[in-house]
Amino acid sequence: MQEELTLSFILEKGLDNINLIDVRSPSEFIHDNIPLSVNVPLLDDAERALVGTCYVQKGPKDARMLGVDIISPKLPQFVRQIMEASKNHRMTVAYCWRGGLRSGSAVGLMTLTGVNIFRLQGGYKVFRNHVNDFFNDFSDEYSFINLHGPTGSAKTHVLRSLESEGLRVLDLEKAACHKGSNFGDVDEPGYETVNQKNFETKIWHTFYNKGMGVYLVEGESMKIGRVSIPRKLFTRMNTCINVVADVPLDARIRFTVDNYKPSLYIDDIRRSLDRLKRFIGKSGVDELSKLLDVKDYETFTKILLESYYDPLYRRSIPENPDYVIRYENIEEGKKQLEQIYMENQTS
């Protein structure tokens, strides 16, 4: 069999049917990686920097020899990690940045140990180009039902409940590790490592897994936290079906308190509140802060919804939505949205 495999072959075979080994450094892997891959780095971040500096100062030959010196003591551990990842007898494929020295070294070494392993032609770079092309030439075979609603409408919970039952859902907030509000990074432990590349990879992976057809998605602004929805995807979403959730204020207060868990994340909420000074003034922030002091989370939430979030929402709500649904709990909203989804399902 050939030593190199193309990305198209791997995607057709199925990512979940292949052991993908990313031999890049940990920081490269965290920045973005091919979904379901395992990081088994040849060089850690500090070692990679040393080799890179040597390459610039002394040239490629000295840099390669330095790499050999660094890697040699770690070879037994490196081999064992790849053998562990390969013991399920699936095809194993290694990749680095562009299918060059690092993945080639890994393939050569593992072949000597009797492990059948291949290299991804073009490495991570060819995968990144594939994701870029996917969004730049976004297929019209994908369509959307956008769920809009004021803050606290439990839209995310309704969508995730439907996703758990097998409906196609594009969970943009999960990919962004952000709830799409000023307090959106509260209780989102993955937020610090989110960037535009890994955000787009997560979205691409959803489409790859679930295929073409109609998707439920939360109506969002183009920017979510620190990332932005790819432009052609965002444009497509805005030309599709719009559903508006009409939820009573008391239910929205209850949903919001349950969702943000102020008793557990009070410090994070205070930091987020401080960012609202330019919108509601110092006196407004001071008033809300006092409510946090006495743990009156319901009044705190009511004031924020009525004085800050609702005016913003009224400026963004679709003027002529295709559907309006009314509910006071997640189950009611779920049933109504599922019915709309089934009415508009084309594949």
Identify the active-site residue in 54, 96, 177, 240. 96
d(CA 164, CA 159): 9
Tell me the pairing of strands 18-22 and 169-170: unpaired
DSSP tag of 132: H
Which among 231, 156, 184, 214 has a CA at the least distance from the CA of 346?
Answer: 214
Burial class for 101, CB neighbours closer than 10 Å (0-12, 13-18, 19+):
middle
Which among 269, 247, 250 has a CA at the least distance from the CA of 326?
Answer: 247
- Whether residue 240 lies in the annotated active site: no
Tell me the pairing of strands 213-218 and 227-228: unpaired
3-class DSSP state of 204 = helix
Burial class for 267, CB neighbours closer than 10 Å (0-12, 13-18, 19+):
exposed
151 membership: H or E segment, kind and range: none
Beta-sheet strand order (sheet of 91-95): 4-5, 117-120, 91-95, 18-22, 38-39
Active-site amino acid positions: 96
